[in-house]
Amino acid sequence: MPPFTLPSEAEVALNVPVLLFTLGVSLLSGVLFGCVPAWQVTRANLTDALKEAGRAAIGTSRHRLRRAFVVAELALTLLAGGGLAISSVVKLTTVDLGFRTDHLLTFSLPVPPTRLTEPEQMTTFYQQLLEKVRAVPGVVSVSASVGMPVQGTGVGMPFYIAGHPVSDPSQRPAADFNSVTPDYYRTFGITMARGRAFTDQDTAGRVPVAIVNETFARQYLPRNVDPLTQRVVVEQVIPGDLKLGPEIEWQVVGVYRDIRNAGPRGGEQPEINVPFAQSPWPGTTMAVRTAGDPDRVEQSIAAIVQSMDPDLPMANVRTMDQLVHESLAGDRFQALLFGSFAGIALLLAALGIYGVMSFTVAQRTHEIGLRMALGAGRGRVLWHMLREGLRTVLVGMVVGTVGAYLVGRAMRGLWFGVGAIDPIAFTIVVGLLLLSAVLACILPARRAASLDPLTALRDE
Residue 163: the pLDDT is 86
* Separation CA 418–CA 74 (nearest Å): 21
Rounded to the nearest 10°, the torsion over CA 41, 46, 52, 53 is 80
pLDDT at 59: 46
Residue 414 CA to residue 412 CA, distance in Å, equals 5
pLDDT at 61 (0 to 100): 47
First to last CA, the chain: 56
Give yes or no for a contact between 444 and 358, defined as CB atoms under 8 angstroms apart: yes
Q: How many CB atoms lie within 10 A of CB 32?
A: 9
Element (H, E) at 159: strand 155-161
**What's the pLDDT at 56?**
43
Q: Read off φ and ψ for residue 312, nearest 5 degrees.
A: -100, 115
pLDDT at 193: 95
Please list the rounded mean pLDDT of every run of 10 residues in the chain (460 residues): 51 68 74 62 55 45 53 70 82 87 92 75 90 95 92 81 84 91 95 94 92 95 91 79 76 94 83 93 89 93 91 89 88 84 81 78 71 73 77 77 78 74 80 83 77 60
Q: Which residues pair with 249 in a beta bridge?
A: 233
Bridge partners (DSSP) listed for residue 79:
none
CA atoms within 13 A on the CB side of 208: 18
Using DSSP's 3-state secondary structure scheme, residue 302 falls into helix
- Ordered alpha helix ranges (H), 10-155: 16-42, 46-51, 56-94, 119-134
